[in-house]
């Protein structure tokens, strides 16, 4: 064994220790490994846990879970169309699902932290966007979901993006009368125009929100400035630890290995009622939380176990998660209506432009 090998072995613990700080877990595997090719369909790259009613196929289950979350949004009043932001879309499969809906979005924005996902998503959108969605304005962003207002000017969660010069037109939007402020020939004026986002009618997050720093509640607060006033809907899936909580070492391990902020493991509601009350206290309305665990855990674990090898080990871990009482939940909420006088709104717009 050469010197270089000994050095590599000596540094291995340090590499393992530091790796999660520099590499996201989703970079370490190719989703194609689980997305078995479905006859007559293109190769997919779904990366969620799936909804396993009436199927044992991973890509079909993953597609079903993504569609179920869209349907969940529609049950809460999202009528389709409008402005949609999909956060954590991975390789872009859910973006195509939005575009293939009966009423495709007018504006579809996607946000992912991996540039490889952005590139792949763009490639499948270029190839497979349906004819009925050809007029949809699509913009993809590569950035952390954690919006930093001091540096992330071109970020979909930047409610002032239209004022800061990143877009060709400087736009502001009023929900009540759909008036736009547009810079025309150096003179500011109020005109009717396109409802360019923000605000979003729907913010959609599938199997990702528990990864976002600093923790769930502060992250949700960053969505409010870009949601339609009183009508914008947020839907997401979340994973709740057992009601009895986690031991300190287990919460540290899961947080570290899976890049989950510690508060999303240690400071979570023990019941769905408590979860609902917490969101309402933070200014959300029409909050609905459903436990989807039965349709997710069992089918997901059995599919992984049936693959053998390393996937079997992961499947056994999912089995233990279910037995320990972890819950897979869907959450829907709306931003509380905020009322302001038109004079106040437009006065602020003028100050932003100066």
pLDDT digits (tens, 9 = 90+) for 206-242: 999 999 999 999 999 999 999 998 789 999 999 999 9
CA dist 40 and 42 (Å) reads 7
Counting every residue, how long is the chain? 354
pLDDT band at 339 (very low <50, low <70, confident <90, very high): low
- CA torsion sign, 111 to 114 to 115 to 121? negative
Task: Share the mean pLDDT of the chain.
Answer: 81
> What pTM was computed for the model?
0.81
User: Is 263 a member of any domain?
Assistant: yes
User: Is 125 a member of any domain?
Assistant: yes
pLDDT at 256: 79
DSSP for 244-264, written as a single string? T---HHHHHHHHHHHT--THH
CA dist 90 and 115 (Å) reads 10
Asked if residue 102 has pLDDT above 80, the reply is yes
pLDDT band at 181 (very low <50, low <70, confident <90, very high): very low
pLDDT band at 185 (very low <50, low <70, confident <90, very high): very low
The answer to whether 156 and 85 have CB atoms below 8 angstroms apart is yes
Q: Regarding predicted confidence, which is higher, 174 or 120?
A: 120
Number of domains making up the chain: 1
Please classify residue 118 by burial: count the beta carbons closer than 10 Å to its beta carbon, then call 0-12 exposed, 13-18 middle and 19+ buried.
buried
User: By three-state DSSP, how is residue 216 classified?
Assistant: helix
The answer to whether 160 and 172 have CB atoms below 8 angstroms apart is no
pLDDT at 62: 97
pLDDT at 242: 93
Closest C-alpha among 290, 224, 210, 305 to residue 258: 210
Instruction: Report the CATH number at residue 261.
Output: 3.40.50.150
Asked if residue 326 has pLDDT above 90, the reply is yes
Closest C-alpha among 307, 330, 306, 116 to residue 207: 330
User: Is 6 a member of any domain?
Assistant: no
User: Is 185 a member of any domain?
Assistant: yes
The answer to whether 328 and 297 have CB atoms below 8 angstroms apart is yes
CA dist 326 and 318 (Å) reads 10
pLDDT band at 20 (very low <50, low <70, confident <90, very high): very low
Q: Regarding predicted confidence, which is higher, 8 or 267?
A: 267
Asked if residue 259 has pLDDT above 50, the reply is yes
Tokens of 294: 């039965």
User: By three-state DSSP, how is residue 265 classified?
Assistant: helix
The answer to whether 118 and 90 have CB atoms below 8 angstroms apart is no
The answer to whether 114 and 39 have CB atoms below 8 angstroms apart is no
CA dist 324 and 91 (Å) reads 31
Containing structural domain, residue 58:
50-353
User: Is 31 a member of any domain?
Assistant: no
The answer to whether 329 and 321 have CB atoms below 8 angstroms apart is no
User: Is 323 a member of any domain?
Assistant: yes
User: Is 13 a member of any domain?
Assistant: no
Mean pLDDT of 32-50: 93
User: Is 26 a member of any domain?
Assistant: no
């Amino acid at each position: 064994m050469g010197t270089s090998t000994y050095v590599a072995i000596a540094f291995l613990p340090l590499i393992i220790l530091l790796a999660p700080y520099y590499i996201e877990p989703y970079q370490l595997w190719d989703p194609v490994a689980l997305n078995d090719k479905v006859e007559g369909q293109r190769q997919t790259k779904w990366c969620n846990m799936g909804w396993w009613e009436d199927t044992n196929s991973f890509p079909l289950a993953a597609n079903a879970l993504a569609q179920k979350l869209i349907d969940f949004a529609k049950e809460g009043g999202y009528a389709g169309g409008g402005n949609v932001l999909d956060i954590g879309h991975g390789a872009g499969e859910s973006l195509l699902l939005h575009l293939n809906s009966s009423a495709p979005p007018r504006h579809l924005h996607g946000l992912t932290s991996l540039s490889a996902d952005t590139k792949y998503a763009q490639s499948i959108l270029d190839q497979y966007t349906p004819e009925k969605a050809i007029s949809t304005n699509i913009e993809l962003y590569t950035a952390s979901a954690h919006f930093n207002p001091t540096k992330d000017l071109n970020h979909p969660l930047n409610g002032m993006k239209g004022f800061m010069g990143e877009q060709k037109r400087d736009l502001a939007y009023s929900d009540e009368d759909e008036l736009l402020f547009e810079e025309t020939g150096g003179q500011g004026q109020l005109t009717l125009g396109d409802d360019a986002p923000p605000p979003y009618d729907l913010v959609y997050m599938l199997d990702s929100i528990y990864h976002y720093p600093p923790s769930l509640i502060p992250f949700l607060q960053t969505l409010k400035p870009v949601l339609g006033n009183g009508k914008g809907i947020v839907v997401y899936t979340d994973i709740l630890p057992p009601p009895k909580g986690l031991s300190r070492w287990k919460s540290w391990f899961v947080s570290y290995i899976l890049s989950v902020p510690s508060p999303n493991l240690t400071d979570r509601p023990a019941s769905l009622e408590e979860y609902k009350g917490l969101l309402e206290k933070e200014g959300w309305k029409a909050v609905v939380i459903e436990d989807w665990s039965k349709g997710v855990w069992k089918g997901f674990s059995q599919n992984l176990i049936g693959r053998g090898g390393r996937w079997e080990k992961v499947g056994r871990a999912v089995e233990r998660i279910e037995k320990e009482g972890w819950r897979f939940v869907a959450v829907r909420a709306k931003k509380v209506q905020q009322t302001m006088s038109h004079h106040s709104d437009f006065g602020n717009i003028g100050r932003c432009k100066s």
